[in-house]
Amino acid sequence: RTRNFAKYLGLSAKTDAVDARMLALFAAKSEDLRLWQPPSKETVELRGLRRRRDDLAQMIRKEQNRLEHQQIKAVERSLKRHVRAMTKEVDELDAQIVKLVASTPEFRRKSDLLTSVVGVGPKTAAACLAYVPELGSLTKGEAAAIVGLAPHAQDSGTLKGHRRISGGRREVRASLYMAALSTLRYDPMMQSFARRLRARGKPAKVAITAIMRKLIVILNAVLKTGEPARRSLPS
């Protein structure tokens, strides 16, 4: 029960101090925890459409990888037919997602706010709406933790483990990764932030992860405040 409570709090870190604080919080709040609220039917529909779309996109990538090394013509033709069929399905699902977002006032309002952030397009916005409906009601740390972008300690006693991201809703991370690449290309502030990280010896992968974390925090903030993002973001 206490471990599940830690997951509920987004505490993936493992240190003696974190464990002690988590146990104290559990003792204080175990009788006053929020009940789980089922998602709206529109959210359930959007999540189902988006998940099917993402599953097909993953299958397309696998088939394309097989195609690169295929030497048998009959198999090559089969792979190409499969890729074309699945690509058509993805396009149809994308159209259904666009229609659902446009026809649902709350989705449309949130999508407009999310896409005001540099690098975030309608597909990333739809992924956030589908997979992280809580966005806009979270703290900065909760927003990063819920999608698995908060660096967690793995310490116990004198053992000091490496800090790394873990857990969270991995479905949305792929969209945030693509948004981070776009943001890094078009946002001068994010470019400056990435350069500072690289100057401190951080690998490119770590810099991209840090930008993804900034993005989810900003997306949470624009939904919380109801104010569109400025086109030039502070680092």
Average pLDDT, consecutive stretches of 10 residues, N- to C-terminus, the chain (235 residues): 72 76 78 73 96 96 94 95 98 98 97 95 96 91 86 51 60 92 92 92 90 94 92 47
Beta bridge partners of 14: 154
pLDDT at 157: 52
Phi/psi at 148 (nearest 5 deg)?
75, 35
Evaluate whether residue 190 is within a structural domain. no
Long-range contacts of 178-181 (CB under 8 A, 24+ apart): 178/124, 179/119, 179/120, 179/121, 179/124, 179/212, 179/215, 180/119, 180/208, 180/211, 180/212, 180/215, 181/119, 181/208
pLDDT at res. 28: 77
d(CA 148, CA 161): 18
| Residue 200 maps to a domain | no
**Dihedral angle computed from the Cα positions of residues 172, 130, 105 and 217, in that order, rounded to the nearest 10 degrees:** -30
Q: What is the domain range of residue 22?
A: 1-36
In the prediction, which pLDDT does 35 show? 67
Does a structural domain hold residue 72?
no
For residue 41, is it within any domain?
Answer: no
Residue 42 lies in a domain: no
Angle (nearest 5°) at CA 131 between 154 and 25? 45
Q: How many domains does the chain have?
A: 1
Residue 141 lies in a domain: no
Give the separation between CA 145 and CA 140, rounded to whole angstroms. 9
Kindly state whether residue 155 falls inside one of the protein's structural domains.
Answer: no
Q: Is the pTM of this model over 0.85?
A: no
Q: What are phi and psi of 67, to 5 degrees?
A: -65, -35
Q: Count the alpha carbons within 13 Å of 138 in the hemisphere toward its beta carbon.
A: 20
Is 111 inside any structural domain? no
